[in-house]
Amino acid sequence: AEVAEDRILNVPDVKSDVNSLLVQLESNTSQMLAKKTEAMQVNRQKLQRIETDRKGFIAEQQRKINELHNYLDEKLRCIVAEYNKAVEPDVIKVKNNLDRCEEKAQEHKIFISEIQNMRQTFDKRAIPNFIDNVRKSANMLNYYNHLKTVNSTETHTMVYPTHKEDYHPVFDLDINKEVEILANKFRILSTPGVTSQQSYKREDYEEEYGNEEKKHGFPQAQPTQHNVGATPTQNAGAPLNQEKEALRTEERPQLFKSADPVFGPDGGQGEANFQTMDNKLVSVMSPIRKKLRIVRWLSTKIGEYDIENDFWNSVNAQIKKPFLPFSRTVYLPNQDMIVMGGLNDEIPNKPTFSSLVLKITEVPVNVYDSLYVTKQMNNMIIKRGCFTGLYQYGFVFAFGGLNYTHKVLRYCEKYDVENDQWEEIAPMVEPRKNASSCALTSDTIYVFGGSSCQSEVSDKGSNASDSIEQYCISTDTWTLLKIRLDSKISFQVSFKLSETRIILLGGSIKQNSKKSDTYKSNQVLVFDAMEPSIKKCNNLAKDVLSLYPPFYDDGNLYLVDEDESSENPLVVRYNISNLIR
């Protein structure tokens, strides 16, 4: 049989084929093993990364929890300190009463001891010094009557132990409120780029409102019926901010919509202002209070004025260095603030004007508190301060001003808000600082008055201006109008009343004399570009020199009369209901 098989199969060839097959199997299996080994290594690395991420996540959550713990600890410390301060007068009263009672009680104990000794004396059969002891007993009776009279007439400082009723409503923790605060603080901490040491970054939801005007069709700067924050144009009226209620909800992020309609250029109703908040804990509710906001020079604070209660409050912004003096603020339709330029005197004896641009965003933390976060934008092309600026259809304009290189400026530029880009535009006919500007139509902007005095702190001198210039956006050209203001004036506040009229309020007027003095004014003028003409209206209640645009609410303009020495500048109200048409 073996001989037969050998004849059928070639044994050497079979051995060779089998050997080759086994070699191939070994090679293929080795490759499979290598791939599995590589896959094992990759998965081990993934597992290691997952474990590292898990530890990092836990550490990050622990860090945030620690910050919340620190907040609660500080809250407890403040509440306890305030409570102790409140009850301290009563504590002092009670301790004084206690000391007096202890002193009297000790006197009574001594007197009782003396009475007991006298009783022992009279218990004896033979009483020595009988007359003297009787006299002492009589004196004791007199002393007792004295004590009785004192006790009946003595009045202690009354203390009513009603601390629970009196102080708990003030200092007691509101659990629901604190949970809401913690939830929103946790959200802030969870946002990328936000820590307690650095500014809040808004890139996460910036894209949502970047094209806000195009999406929602913001009309040209016009007043609202009630308090929707007025016109987007800076000197034509800044927005009145309305705090929004924050509630727990599982709804998707949504837009903050103002309660009242905005009038479009044709007199009809346009779209209302919107503000995006990428936060599941915040939903649209009715406003809590009306407030206007300004930056406080030489500090890191935002001033908030409560219109209904006539009350100023200061809130620290998330910024390391103080806001520069002689900077200017423009308000965007979404209620962000653009702060530009100013005088930087950080280096002693070497002041210089700045081209710094900051965007300030108010982020509601809860019903009661807001966080003002800042983001540095691209700088202006020219360093400047004491200029006038406004917002118009996606662009922020800066006209004139002052710096140490060019002195009083004719140069102007505009800022593309969406693309964060500055561009030079045509210079004005006349150099001017501390002027007023207002957009009248979608293509025309007017600049009023100002001064060519080269001091940043004064407009005194013969260089104050009464001229008016018109800027055409589409042709990038300036025209010096023949009509002039009634007096040489700077620091006016301007606001668009209609398609042809602008109201001018307050300011600093140059006296019509050889003297170089100026004075604050309460005058109100209405410029009509159609006629053209300038007419006087009822004066303001007080003289006003304002560095901010007017804030419009329900037929009234609110003007902030700047006072650098006061944390609570005067706010003057002026009714324009009969002028709006």
Collect the ranges in the chain with pLDDT lower than 70.
1-9, 153-174, 176-178, 180, 184-289, 367-368, 454-462, 512-516, 563-566, 581
Which token pair is 42?
A: 């990759």
pLDDT tens track for 72-127: 887 788 778 777 877 787 788 888 888 888 888 888 889 898 888 888 888 877 77
d(CA 441, CA 222): 10
Per the DSSP assignment, residues forming a β-bridge with 53 are: none
Domain ranges of the chain: 43-122+136-154+162-173, 263-575
SS (H, E, C) 529-576: CCCCEEEECCCCCCCECCCCCCEEECCEEEEEECCCCCCCCEEEEEEC
d(CA 552, CA 232): 11
> Strands (DSSP E) along 112-220, which ranges?
none
Q: For residue 519, how many other CB atoms are within 10 A of its CB?
A: 11
Q: What is the pLDDT of residue 308?
A: 82
Q: Is 198 helix (H, G, I), strand (E, B) or coil?
A: strand
Q: Going by C-beta distance under 8 Å and a sequence separation of 6 or more, which residues neighbour residue 368? A: 177, 181
d(CA 113, CA 135): 17
Which token pair is 543?
A: 């003289």
pLDDT tens track for 323-338: 999 999 999 998 899 9
Q: What is the DSSP string of 335-397?
A: S-EEEE--EE--STT--EE---EEEEEEEE-SSS-EEEEEEE-PPPSS--BS-EEEEETTEEE
Q: For residue 238, how many other CB atoms are within 10 A of its CB?
A: 30
Q: Is 197 helix (H, G, I), strand (E, B) or coil?
A: coil
Place of tokens 């600093």: 508
Helix (H) or strand (E) holding 482: none
Domain 263-575 = CATH 3.40.50.300? no
Which of 157, 168, 172 is closest to 89 using CA atoms?
157
Q: For residue 279, how many other CB atoms are within 10 A of its CB?
A: 20
pTM: 0.56
Q: Going by C-beta distance under 8 Å and a sequence separation of 6 or more, which residues neighbour residue 385? A: 324, 325, 326, 327, 328, 341, 342, 343, 353, 354, 401, 402, 403, 456
Q: What is the pLDDT of residue 385?
A: 95
355-to-384, 389, 405, 469 alpha-carbon distances in Å: 6, 14, 13, 24
Q: What is the pLDDT of residue 145?
A: 84
d(CA 454, CA 432): 10
Q: What is the pLDDT of residue 455?
A: 58
Burial class, 459, CB count within 10 angstroms (exposed 0-12 / middle 13-18 / buried 19+): buried
d(CA 393, CA 412): 17
Q: What is the pLDDT of residue 426?
A: 97
pLDDT tens track for 376-428: 999 999 999 999 999 999 999 999 999 999 899 999 999 999 999 999 999 99
Question: CB–CB of 494/438 below 8 Å?
Answer: yes
Q: What is the pLDDT of residue 225?
A: 33
Alpha helices (H) in 154-202, listed in sequence order: 163-171, 175-190
Q: For residue 95, how many other CB atoms are within 10 A of its CB?
A: 10
d(CA 476, CA 469): 13
Which of 381, 377, 379, 376 is closest to 320 using CA atoms?
376
Radius of gyration of the chain from its Cα atoms, rounded to whole angstroms: 40
Q: What is the pLDDT of residue 141?
A: 86
